[in-house]
Amino acid sequence: MSITLVHLRRGASDDKYSWTPFAPNDEFNGDWWDSPPYLFDDPHFVRADGDGVEVARIELDHDFRGSKHVGAPDLGDAALEIQFMEVAKSYRRKGIGAAVIAILAEQYPDRRLLALSEEADGFWASLGWDRFDFSDGPHHYRPLFIQPAESA
């Protein structure tokens, strides 16, 4: 499957309170994607298309400002956070997520990708990313996964 990433940003003429980057789709969690991101000045979303079909959605944050995860490096402006990523229900467990991350890494060679894991620790670990737990332990906060420097 050939995957193409389409970057979606709110335009200057788009209404902050009604613009949504994605059309409702039962393949994805509507609680994550169907509300306008009006709290953010410049939201950045990515649609992954596989052979013309939407197979994944991503929300990026260009302004990650560090964390209190033990041992995590301060990446400064090099950090590019994957706020959310979801693969369409019918395309899961087929390598789509890993392929999308690889393409993002190619598109942002001067950045280090990172993610605060939301019940996807196994996925981020499978990519070879470094895990950092919060100082209070993993039961209270999401673990931080950071792309290794050698693959950035």
Does residue 151 surpass a pLDDT of 80?
no
Render pLDDT for 10-29 as a digit per residue (tens, 0 to 9): 998 999 899 999 999 999 99
Domains of the chain are 3-151 (3.40.630.30)
What token pair was written down for 85?
């990523």
Spatial CA neighbour of 54 closest among 109, 107, 8, 120: 8
The answer to whether 127 touches 117, Cβ cutoff 8 Å, is no
> What is the pTM (predicted TM-score) of this model?
0.89
The answer to whether 9 touches 46, Cβ cutoff 8 Å, is no
Render pLDDT for 17-74 as a digit per residue (tens, 0 to 9): 999 999 999 999 999 898 887 877 888 999 999 999 999 999 999 888 777 778 777 8
Kind of pairing between the strands at 79-87 and 112-116: parallel
